[in-house]
Amino acid sequence: MKTKLTLLFIALVGAVNFVSAQATEECITTMSIFSEHAKVKNYDAAYEPFMKLRKDCPTTSYALYQYGERILHYKIENSSGAEQKAFLDDLKKLYKEKKTHFASKAKEGDDIADVALVMNENKIGTAQEQYAMFNEAWETDKETFNNAKGLYVYFNLAVELQEAGAIELQEVFDLYDALQTKITDVQNNYAERLQKILEKKEAGTALTSQEKRVEQVSEVNLSNYSKISAGINQKLGALADCDRLIPFYEADYEAKKNDVAWVRGAAGRLVAKECTDSELFVTLVEQLNTLEPSAKTSFYLGRLAEQRGEDAKAIEYYEESAERQTEPAEKAKVYYRLGENFREKGSYGRARGYYQKAVAAQPSMGIVYLRIADMYAKSANSCGDSVFNKRAIYWLAADMAERAGRIDPSLSSTAQKTAAAYRGLAPDRTMIFNAGNAGQRITFNCWVGGSVTVPNL
């Protein structure tokens, strides 16, 4: 009988969930009843066996905690006052129980952030209490605080509290930097996975079912985090424009000019918001170079040299910065700047080399592919020995533009329009028919290199 119940239970909760070998027949029976109700979202009926299982059979299955979160979310959403607060407290308790009984599966950052998000969505507690809960999630385990919506709400609360005078502007800036670093790390992880899939598809190799799943998950998450990053940038908005930043930092400069972290942060903020033509930026860079010569100071000195028209000196500083930089995202910014410098001068081969270094350091930097696509398209007249072969490079440019949108969904609309424009310039069906080269590969002997397959008719 116990074997039949165990099999029934596994069928209900799914084979991926752990079922304790020590579970009693009574626990398995109760778990089966609980799971049957929970799977069809009959949370009221699932509540009683859920509470019994927590008390008597807490290690029977991890599904107890997966479904339990949903049950308590439902209870919180459909209650009010003291009863709602009691359910919220029980959600916190459930997460602690999960950590006790399934420590390897517990993600404290996301769990505490979930409590904060539930508070916010159901208007439980003040904005300051909700913010404090998000802070607890971040400080306890920022590595597992991966709820995209939670990251956005966290920052939104910070902005609201700053505008109300409850927290300092610098705290908002510090949080912005930390969250964007977190988001970039997550995006890079998914972009790196997707990159391998795209390369395999471009090589004409069929994807396995697992790889198709990786492709789907990567694209969904890249899209979600791209939207969150854009939302956070929008929320920062007027809080960090040049008209506000410059007097903000000028007011504190004399008192904090020997605080390396402060000077570094102020200079970085001015660069991020393109406030580098101010006298304050020059002062900050010179002071930072005195206090702490580093990869950042080399980059800032490069910006100053570039503004003065000292291109050779700027490149020298940027190269120095890239060599000294240990943070991948910062290294990518330096290489991207170098790529832009050479692209604007028409030195496409060198530009591509730096762009490739940038995306190697930060795989989610989709803009790089749009830049390379643009250079390919502009090289059409010099990359073929016939009209057909010259126009064939637009296929390569279109593929590169499409990759930009896949890697960085915030560029999707631009990437699709750009790719479509390039495909419109590539040889049409009549040209392919007249050339008689459908399915053949065309090799480019100019700086672009590589090859492209002519589409079949």
The residue among 66, 82, 106 that closes a domain is: 106
Domain count for the chain: 2
The residue among 83, 106, 129 that closes a domain is: 106
Question: 382-431: per-residue pLDDT in tens?
Answer: 988 899 999 999 999 999 999 999 999 999 999 999 999 999 999 999 99
**Cβ-based neighbours of 422, under 8 Å, separated by 6 or more:** 373, 377, 394, 395, 397, 398, 401
Taking a C-beta distance cutoff of 8 angstroms, is the pair 392, 446 a contact? no
The residue among 84, 106, 128 that closes a domain is: 106
**DSSP string for 299-326:** HHHHHHHHHTT-HHHHHHHHHHHHHH--
- Res 1 pLDDT > 50: no
Q: What is the pTM of this model?
A: 0.76
Residue 43 within a domain: yes
Residue 380 within a domain: yes
Question: 105-154: per-residue pLDDT in tens?
Answer: 999 999 999 999 999 999 999 999 999 999 999 999 999 999 999 999 99
Which token pair is 341?
Answer: 């410098």
Residue 241 within a domain: no
Domain of residue 100 covers 1-106
Residue 209 within a domain: no
Residue 1 within a domain: yes
Q: Where do the H-state alpha helices sit in 78-106?
A: 81-101
Residue 88 within a domain: yes
Question: 228-249: per-residue pLDDT in tens?
Answer: 999 999 998 878 889 889 999 9
Residue 448 within a domain: yes
pLDDT tier, 12 (very low <50, low <70, confident <90, very high otherwise): very low
Residue 345 within a domain: no
